Amino acid sequence: MRFDKVIAGGTVVTPGGTFVGDVGIIGEKIAALGTELDDEGADFIPATGHLVLPGVLDVHVHLELPFCGTVSADDYRTGTRAGARGGVTTVIDFAIPSAGGTLAQAADTWMRKAEGKSLIDYTFHICITRWQEQKDQIADMVARGFTTFKEFMIYESEGWQSDDRALFGTLEQMREHGAMLLVHAESARVLDELIARHHTPEEMQRWGAQLHRITRPNFIEAEAIERAVRWCEVTGGQLYIVHMSTAEGTDIVRAAQARGVPVLAETCVQYLVLDDSVFERPDGHLFACCPQLKGRNDIDRLWEGLRRGEVSVVSTDTCTFTREQKAMWNGDWTKIPMGMPGLETLLPLTYTQGVLGGRLSLEEMVRKLSTNPARIMGLAPRKGAIQVGADADVAIIHPTSTRRVDPAEMETNADWSPYEGMELAGFARTTLSRGEVIVDDYRVVGREGRGQWLPRTSAGLAPRSDAAPVAAPRDASPSPFRDHRVEIHLG
């Protein structure tokens, strides 16, 4: 076989096992795996002494998002360049309808943000913000290739909040269409009450940005996950908890999965490596994200959840704000633009703290960053694994050589980093996207706008059912989900 490119001599992580050898690429696809592949006439990409991993899918990002009275500072140009440098080859963003807007208009708006700018492939989760008005638009969006939807249980002031009626009804529709509902789970009414209690000049003077964590005890997330899981259980619609940050949430997901409830969970790398003591720093307000960082116990439980399979995906929730934007808080924690940069450091942090830190095997990390997100988001077998026939999306990293996180040298528009000063291995020496080298020797060389939109026909692990029974008794049919979950463990 004649190849266009051969990645030679690396330690290649595939779903079938890890081997030292070569990856042969023809056009945009992986054409062969083996040892001593014929590289005559092919571009030779040396990988001896390096790890050859599938490109990372960051399935939770917000690029150029109007939020908290400003617009997040990484757009499709800087955000995807940052991602590529961290081995990310696919992003999934959230298309959010404007006031009075339709789901289709939201998708069109996000298409325009990405087109001509994105370095890597992309698609969007479609956010449902007013279900009563938008419910009849869901089938059309599935037909257009969007199979994941999102509802927020908070953010009334943004006009994004969904109630239980919407969650319940949308989950029924997910079952009907073989689609998946992503949920931001926080308990809005109790959170409002806690914020109101602390929103006094005296408290703000005394506690500053620490009020962000004081007003969001773990039960705020746990109660909301519990409720969403209940609606998932009685409808049978596939549910995916985004940015899960608590030990309690992980326990609830574990118990639900053991009952055969089709719920999956994602955490974000910041919840695995940072704890809420950062709010005590003079610049603690920079670290405000939503949900906020939690304690050491939560960090340990989330890593354990990743190992045990209760947490399937690690993403970033990238929502970058500069120091100037963060300064809008002016002493009132409810006005901090919530979110942090993350795309550039997802793989380096997960690799350094997870694999080198002895918390995850290399293969487990690849499942959480690539294989599982691709399968769950309906992008497999095209994305997420080094296997014949898949897109040649590849990240080549050195196993031990580290770089110091310095915002001045990064692709993100952020002028700070939550990880500043950390020594991290796992930045991409080389990134390939559909067979094209877009990062070479740690520098972005790919052309902006080359990224493509990715249509999908499925999502989640629960089977599609046109019967769509409402509140079917749990024992009526054996759960197909259990078996699928075992696959995720082994996958």
- Total residues interacting with ligand URP, rule: CB under 6 A: 8
Which residues are CB-neighbours of 345 under 8 A, at least 6 positions away? 86, 269, 405, 417, 419, 424
> Measured between alpha carbons, how far is residue 327 from residues 203, 337, 415, 463 in Å?
19, 9, 13, 47
* Residue 269 interface partner, choices Zn ion, ligand URP, none, CB cut-off 5-8 Å depending on type: none
Q: How near is the Cβ of 290 to Zn ion at its closest, in Å?
A: 6
Task: List the one residue from 290, 410, 438, 439 that touches ligand URP (CB under 6 A).
Answer: 290
Contact 111, 453 (CB under 8 A): yes
Task: For ligand URP, give the closer residue by CB, 339 or 354.
Answer: 339
CB of 216 to ligand URP, least distance (A): 12
What's the closest the beta carbon of residue 244 comes to ligand URP, in angstroms? Answer: 12
Q: Which C-beta is closer to Zn ion: that of 227 or that of 484?
A: 227
- By CB under 5 A, name the one of 233, 317, 391, 393 that touches Zn ion: 317
Shortest Å, Cβ 16 to Zn ion? 33
Question: Smaller CB distance to Zn ion: residue 61 or 392?
Answer: 61
The option from ligand URP, Zn ion, none interacting with 289 (CB < 5 to 8 A, set by class) reads ligand URP
DSSP letters for 8-56: EEEEEEETTEEEEEEEEEETTEEEEEESS---TTSEEEE-TTSEEEEPE
Per the structure block, which two tokens stand in for 432? Answer: 């390939």
The two counts, helices (H) then strands (E), for the chain are: 17, 21
Encoded one letter per residue, x for contact with ligand URP by CB under 6 A and - for no contact, window 311-350 reads ------x-x------------------xx-----------
Would you say 63 or 263 has its CB closer to ligand URP? 63
Q: Which of the residues 163 through 192 are near Zn ion (CB under 5 A)? A: 184
Contacts by 277-285, CB closer than 8 A, 24 or more apart: 278/418, 279/208, 279/209, 279/210, 279/212, 279/213, 280/210, 283/416, 284/208, 284/209, 284/210, 285/208, 285/209, 285/212, 285/326, 285/329, 285/333, 285/336
Do residues 215 and 194 make contact, with C-beta atoms less than 8 angstroms apart? yes
Q: Quick check: 150 binds Zn ion (CB under 5 A)?
A: no
Minimum separation from the CB atom of position 285 to Zn ion (A): 19
Distance set, CA 267 to CA 57, 160, 229, 303 (Å): 14, 21, 16, 9
| Per-residue x/- track, 47-86, ligand URP (CB under 6 A) | ---------------x------------------------
Contact partner, 278, from Zn ion, ligand URP, none, Cβ < 5-8 Å per class: none
Q: How far is the CB of 277 from ligand URP (least distance, A)?
A: 18
Smallest gap from Cβ 358 to ligand URP, in A, equals 29
Binding mask 181-220 for ligand URP (x = CB under 6 A): ---x------------------------------------
- Three-class SS of 316-362: CCECCCCHHHHHHHCCCHHHCCCCECCHHHHHHHHHHHHHCCCCCCH
Closer to ligand URP by Cβ: residue 72 or 430: 72
Render the burial of 23-49: b for 16+ CB within 10 Å, e for the rest: bbbbebbbbebeeebebeebeebebee
Residues found near ligand URP in the complex (CB under 6 A): 62, 184, 289-290, 317, 319, 338-339
Binding-site ranges for Zn ion (CB under 5 A): 184, 317, 410
